[in-house]
Amino acid sequence: MKSLRTQMMLFFSLIILVPVILSSVNVYYALQHYLMQSYIRHQEQVGGNLAGELDGLRQKLEDLSLRIFGDRDIQAYLATPMPAPSADQLEKTTRFRQAVQKYASSEDPRVSLFLVKGQKTVYGDGYEIQRYIQLHMAAADQYGGLPVWDVWNEQGKVVLYRQINDNQTDLTRTIGYLFLFFDRSEIERTIARYTLDAGQQFGVYDREGYFSVITDASMDPERVRELGESLGGGGERELRLGDARSVAFANVRGPWTLVSWIPRELVLEPAAEMFYGILFTAVVLLIFSIFLVLFLSHRITKPLKLLQRKMKHIGEGRFAVRIPIERNDEIGELTQALNSMSDEIVSLIEKNKEEENKRRQIQLQTLEYQINPHFLYNTLDSVNMLARRHDDPVIADIVTYLSRLFRIGLNQGREMITVGDEIRHVTYYLKIQEIRFAGQLYWDIQADDSIERVKMIKFILQPLVENSINHGIRKRDEAGHIYVRAWGEPGFVVLEVEDDGVGMDAEQLERVRASLEEDAEEETDKDHGFGLRNVHQRIRLHYGPEFGLALASEKGSGTVVTVRLPDPSGDKEVREGNDDGGGTRGFH
């Protein structure tokens, strides 16, 4: 008993294969006829052009031989017997040589010209050529001055020779012979330019039977001549050449006949390729149908494999993959439960990541301040009262500045303050340091009024100023300056702290920049790293990895630290308070 899967496979196979095979056979035979007719038309045109070009070459050389035949100087020299040297004979010899040189230089340099005076004197170089000439003068006599074509296969030459008769006094008197030699490869190159396919062969021959050039070395010249005669001097036909059927064509131009032939299978090769392509498509479709049957049977009989794959994905940590619920039965309920479990796992992972980020933020905030604000305020108030009781305004000012500094810094536990409060915060810090380093520290703050109410995270400028004092100003032998600037750009708030301290060389600067990206446990720069790194990481944690500190420094010229923060568009809310009388330069 056949299974359902087997029956479906047989059914789909028959549906695909039967129409495809029938269509393939029909297309194959139709395409064969079209290709053959198209090739015949094209070959007739190409063969006609090639035959015309070869006939033009023949006519060109025959015209050259005719001009040499009728040249008066050549006729006069060849017709004169060989007497003792005289002035007249010397003049004829000179004119003869000039005429030969004229024809040799005015024509294609690949043509070699040889003349024979009488029956023995050959004008030209080469023993082999002279021997060839001596053997073929008798053949030239048979044609009585008409051109004769021959192929000298041993030397790869095509030869045109003819008898030269006295056209001044007696046309029946032979006075010499003319031989023109040129390379057989000239004709072969001309044929190659008209060759359409690699398997196409050509043969050209004359009606006398002396001359034939064949591109197929295995083809006998007599067989080519028979082939041309069987075509009646033109047209095409199919015949058997060797072991294969071929298509042959013939074109006649003057005394020359051009024959070409090509195996029939090469002409019909595109049809065979298309037929095999269609069969390949049928096989692909058959394979596809088999896979389709397998899929359908799998969908019907083994739906639990989807759940198995899902469980495997969960085991590999790929929780985002979901199984579509397409069944309203127990399997559908199980699929829904598995999807819900996967979603719950993803949710727990995300919550864990959030908790980890919060833990890191709390650690950074703990590093920011670890002070009890109530105890701090009470202590500072007590010190302030004692200082004023003892009439010590310097201590009273320091305590006042310190109290205001911490009041802004603590900000009732809130992370965000305005730019104006941040500027006031660093102002109080600088006033305290100005008292501490009397005469050694000068500072200036310039802030744009338009950004005073823009919100930002707190405690950014003070660590930067502290870093400038400790690592730039204090290491100088003379007083130093610190410049704090704040201005707005489209979409951004820019804060800058500049000092004219000792600065850093390129190696130190690169080391400090690298320390900004390190964790506390990996700290490599103990001198500069902590304060700057704390600020840098707080900025990135709040605003994203594209924000942070930008450092520039030169040895002996100071350091510039720039902070670029986003300006929250449309945020008009401004925190009240923290304006306790302290002033900042630039804000009013």
Write the DSSP assignment of 113-144 as a string of letters.
Answer: EEEEETTTEEESS-HHHHHHHHHHHHHHHHTT
Two structure tokens written together for 258: 């051009």
Give the integer Cα–Cα distance in Å for 294 and 299: 8
pLDDT of residue 381: 64
Q: Which amino acid, residue 68? A: I
Q: What is the DSSP letter of 153?
A: T
CB contact set of 544 (below 8 Å; sequence gap of 6+): none
- pTM for this entry: 0.43
Give pLDDT tens digits for 432-468. 888 888 888 999 999 999 999 999 998 899 999 999 9
Give the integer Cα–Cα distance in Å for 249 and 262: 9
Q: What is the DSSP letter of 231?
A: T
Two structure tokens written together for 581: 């009388």
Residues linked to residue 149 through DSSP beta bridges, in sequence order: 160
Q: Which amino acid, residue 503? A: G
Q: How many CB atoms lie within 10 A of CB 245?
A: 12
Give the integer Cα–Cα distance in Å for 415 and 457: 6
CB neighbour class for 236 (10 Å; exposed up to 12, middle 13-18, buried from 19): middle
Residue pair 347/319 in contact (Cβ under 8 Å)? The answer is no
Residue pair 551/559 in contact (Cβ under 8 Å)? The answer is yes
Q: How far is CA 376 from the centre of its chain?
A: 68
Residue 586, by phi and psi: left (phi above 0), alpha (psi -120 to 50) or beta?
left
CB half-sphere exposure, 169, CA atoms < 13 A: 8
Q: Do strands 480-489 and 441-447 pair parallel, antiparallel, or not at all (unpaired)? A: parallel
The DSSP line for 426-477 is HHHHHHHHHHHTTTTEEEEEEE-GGGTT-EEESSSHHHHHHHHIIIIITTSS
Per-residue confidence of the chain (588 residues) as pLDDT tens digits? 456 567 666 777 777 777 777 777 777 677 777 777 777 777 777 878 888 888 888 888 888 888 888 888 888 888 877 655 667 767 777 787 777 777 766 666 578 888 888 766 667 666 678 888 888 888 888 888 899 989 888 888 899 898 888 887 777 888 888 898 888 888 888 888 888 777 778 888 888 778 888 888 778 888 888 777 777 766 666 666 666 677 777 778 888 888 887 777 776 777 677 777 777 777 787 787 777 777 766 666 656 666 667 677 777 666 666 677 766 766 677 777 777 777 777 787 777 787 677 667 645 654 555 444 555 555 666 676 666 666 667 776 677 777 776 767 665 557 788 999 999 999 988 988 888 888 889 999 999 999 999 999 988 999 999 999 999 898 888 899 999 999 999 999 999 999 999 999 999 999 999 988 876 545 555 555 568 988 998 899 889 889 999 999 999 899 999 999 998 754 444 333 333 333 344 453
Residues of the chain with CATH 1.10.8: 307-362
Pick the CATH number of 307-362 from 1.20.1270, 1.10.8, 3.40.50, 1.10.3470: 1.10.8
Two structure tokens written together for 532: 């700057």
Give the integer Cα–Cα distance in Å for 565 and 491: 9
Q: What is the sign of the dihedral through the CA atoms of 416, 422, 428 and 432?
A: positive
CB contact set of 478 (below 8 Å; sequence gap of 6+): none
Give the integer Cα–Cα distance in Å for 326 and 162: 96
CB contact set of 290 (below 8 Å; sequence gap of 6+): 9, 12, 13
The full length of the chain comes to 588
Give the integer Cα–Cα distance in Å for 284 and 296: 18
CB contact set of 219 (below 8 Å; sequence gap of 6+): 201, 203
Question: Mapping DSSP to helix (H, G, I), strand (E, B) and coil, where does residue 93 land?
Answer: helix
Q: Which amino acid, residue 510? A: E
Question: To which H or E segment does residue 160 belong?
Answer: strand 157-165
Pick the CATH number of 415-566 from 3.30.465.10, 3.20.10.10, 3.30.565.10, 3.40.50.410: 3.30.565.10
Residues 250-276: b if buried by 16+ CB within 10 A, e if exposed: bbbbebbbbbbbbbbebbbeebeeebe
Question: To which H or E segment does residue 204 belong?
Answer: strand 201-206
Give pLDDT tens digits for 393-439. 777 667 777 777 676 766 555 778 899 999 999 998 898 888 888 88
Two structure tokens written together for 39: 């090739």
Q: Which amino acid, residue 527? A: D
Of 445, 436, 484, 453, the closest CA to residue 576 belongs to: 453
Question: Mapping DSSP to helix (H, G, I), strand (E, B) and coil, where does residue 353 land?
Answer: helix
Of 191, 80, 194, 206, the closest CA to residue 151 belongs to: 206
Give the integer Cα–Cα distance in Å for 318 and 311: 10
Residues of the chain with CATH 3.30.565.10: 415-566
- CA–CA distances in Å: residue 407 to residues 410, 576, 579: 5, 13, 10
Give the integer Cα–Cα distance in Å for 546 and 568: 16
CB contact set of 554 (below 8 Å; sequence gap of 6+): 503, 504
Q: How far is CA 263 from the centre of its chain?
A: 41
- Alpha-carbon Rg for the chain, nearest whole angstrom, is 53
Q: What is the DSSP letter of 563?
A: E
Residue pointed to by tokens 């985002």: 320
Give the integer Cα–Cα distance in Å for 126 and 537: 96
